[in-house]
Amino acid sequence: MRRFLTLLAAVVVVAVPLHAAVTYADALTPPETMAPTVLVGLFWADEVSLTCRGPFLVEFSSGSSSYGANSVVKFRANGNKVLKETSGGTVTEEGAVEVSPAQKQSGAYITVQSHTGADTPTAGLYFEGSILVMAQDGRLCVANLVDVESYVRSVVSSEMPDGWPVEALKAQAVAVRSYLAYKVKMTNTPGLGLPVSGYRSVTPGSICIWATDQVYKGVSVQRPNAVAASQATRGQILTYGGLPAAAYFHAASEGKTENVRNVWGGNVPYLVSVDEIPYESPYHSWSVSFSGDSLGLLLAPLGVSGSCVSLEGCDLGDSGRWGGITVCTGSGEVWVKGTDFRKVLGQPLRSLLFSVYTVGGGKNASGCVNPGMPVWVAGKEQVTNETAGELFLQGGGGIISKGTSGLSVLSGTVSDGPVTFVLEGKGWGHGVGMSQWGARALALAGADYPAILNWYYPGTALELWW
């Protein structure tokens, strides 16, 4: 807390490469081919109603039906079968049902008019390509069979502000396309390793990427600069060893990205920790508070029992993010994986780069200070090689230990009231791969999109696949 520790912005000076490394293609100009079509899972629901501004078709294993513009077709599930409801009655269909415009024309997109029991709010959105409706265990799975480039235009429009530098938008477009290619297991071979027919025989298990993996909301969200950046990088895939790179990205690292091994495990040569150039973002500093009781309830699915009495970060990653959290209650001590801790606490906990302070309960305020968080100590920024005797806190008190997990501190201030945990941190996201605010900073400094990609995914290559 700032009444105990004042956070200061660290300044790091890093040279910006204005051109891509030699691993990137100098010319991406082979003849264009058709972009592939992929299946993107949209949502699960109890029922869904679809429509189209123009005439459309509903196709299934035993035949097809035609509908006029603005007609509505409702679908429900009966076990593993799809029930199709129209003004003409109800029909039970085997396998996946495909809904698509009868002909290509302006605005002839399939619209999700309404749904009930959906796990993702999608009503009112409309999509290019076709919509597939499948049934499994009494629930509907709704997916979009869509051109990759349409998907990329939509995701870039949702994932990065349209007013940002065009080179940052281009880098985002390549990252989005590459991550999609990685998820659906594309290969740079004829057909790209993707199925070319038989989509009506697919099942929910056939879906390799979902609309929540990268924010995908169809045509309605597409923005002009994002569309232009996507078109300018059409068909470009970031690869490593000839295969699509897992081009993870996040909002802001605030200084240094994280090595993937400290987040999800494994060793990926291009998902290592890299330094960023300085920038200002809305996520440079944030704070969120929880009561001991609320933390206990949120962490219960992770094996925590009862109200929390202390929290301590541990297992520091390369960027300073916690890899784990030690949670103490009256029932004992539980170690929680950092990614799980962040998941159950939700969006208020924007990253795992934070310090935690415990106040209230009629006791001295205490805290676990993350070494990656700069603090004001003895008239200068705190550095990890200072001895405990050189450190002190405003309001009295001092360092009570200096272990590998961080700096355990004790304030001279005593607070009454319920025990409250204050988490102060910076950054937003898991920290792996490209930092969007960092990409913006590089673009403003003059870097082109291949240089931005090479910065955040070192050792990868940029290839044109279609």
Q: What is the pLDDT of residue 407?
A: 67
**Whether residue 126 is found in the same domain as residue 248:** no
Q: Which domain holds residue 220?
A: 149-264+430-464
As given in the structure block, the two tokens for residue 92 are 């039970």
Sequence-separated (6 or more) residues with CB below 8 Å from residue 339: 263, 264, 352, 430
**Of 272, 310, 317, 282, nearest in space to 426 by CA:** 282
Query: E-assigned strands of 330-405?
Result: 332-337, 354-359, 363-369, 376-377, 380-381, 397-403
**Whether residue 359 is found in the same domain as residue 400:** yes
**Of 178, 168, 180, 147, nearest in space to 228 by CA:** 168
**Whether residue 443 is found in the same domain as residue 416:** no
**Whether residue 135 is found in the same domain as residue 157:** no
Q: What is the pLDDT of residue 366?
A: 81
Q: How many domains does the chain have?
A: 3
- The Cα–Cα gap between 226 and 218 comes to 13
For residue 15, is it within any domain?
no
Pair 437, 259: CB distance under 8 Å: no
- The Cα–Cα gap between 277 and 21 comes to 18
Q: What is the pLDDT of residue 375?
A: 54
For residue 8, is it within any domain?
no
Q: What is the pLDDT of residue 403?
A: 45
For residue 412, is it within any domain?
yes
Q: Of the residues 141, 168, 192, which one is the last residue of a structural domain?
A: 141
**Whether residue 418 is found in the same domain as residue 440:** no
For residue 276, is it within any domain?
no
Q: What is the pLDDT of residue 401?
A: 44
- Give average pLDDT by consecutive 10-residue segment, the chain, 466 residues: 31 41 49 83 97 94 89 95 85 90 87 95 95 96 97 98 98 98 95 76 93 97 98 98 98 97 96 97 94 95 94 92 94 95 94 91 82 53 40 43 58 80 95 98 98 98 97
pTM: 0.87
- The Cα–Cα gap between 33 and 148 comes to 12
Q: What is the pLDDT of residue 6?
A: 27
Sign of the Cα torsion 30, 35, 36, 41 reads positive
Helix (H, G, I), strand (E, B) or coil at 192: helix
For residue 335, is it within any domain?
yes
Q: What is the pLDDT of residue 364?
A: 79
For residue 12, is it within any domain?
no
**Whether residue 130 is found in the same domain as residue 102:** yes
For residue 278, is it within any domain?
no
For residue 453, is it within any domain?
yes
**Whether residue 162 is found in the same domain as residue 129:** no
The DSSP secondary structure of 116-155, one letter per residue, reads ES-SS--TT-EESSEEEEEEETTEEEEEEEEEHHHHHHHH
